[in-house]
Amino acid sequence: MISDIINITAKLTLYSTQNGGRITGIGTGYRPNHVMEYLPNSTDFPTTYIGQIDFDKERIYPGETENVRIKFLRHQNIEELLKKGRVWWIHEGARKIGEAEVLEILK
């Protein structure tokens, strides 16, 4: 039976506050919007995916990069988008606050 959850490890970078990122850090269990693609010549995106970001330290702060675990719900075309090396963007609503890169798809 296939699980409804896809687990990956990723390298997460939160943008600095000066570069449009958050003012405060994030805690484990954070569930931002994950944007895999933008519409051509635009900052608009056709869809977002929800993924829970988990990690072992207390917080990750703006300007930091950490390896994290992310759980995605298996829906729409998310599985075909998650390949090793794939980079995507972390959003709070329309605001881009970071980016991540797939390091490994966990079985």
- List pLDDT tens digits, range 10-31: 999 999 999 999 999 999 999 9
Specify the CATH number for the domain of residue 41: 2.40.30.10
* Structural domain harbouring 51: 5-106
| 34 close to 88: Cβ distance less than 8 angstroms | yes
Domain count, the chain: 1
Exposure pattern of 46-65 as b/e (b: 16+ CB <10 Å)? eeebebbbebeeeebebbbe
**What average pLDDT does this structure show over 65-93?**
93
43: pLDDT confidence band, cut at 50, 70 and 90?
confident
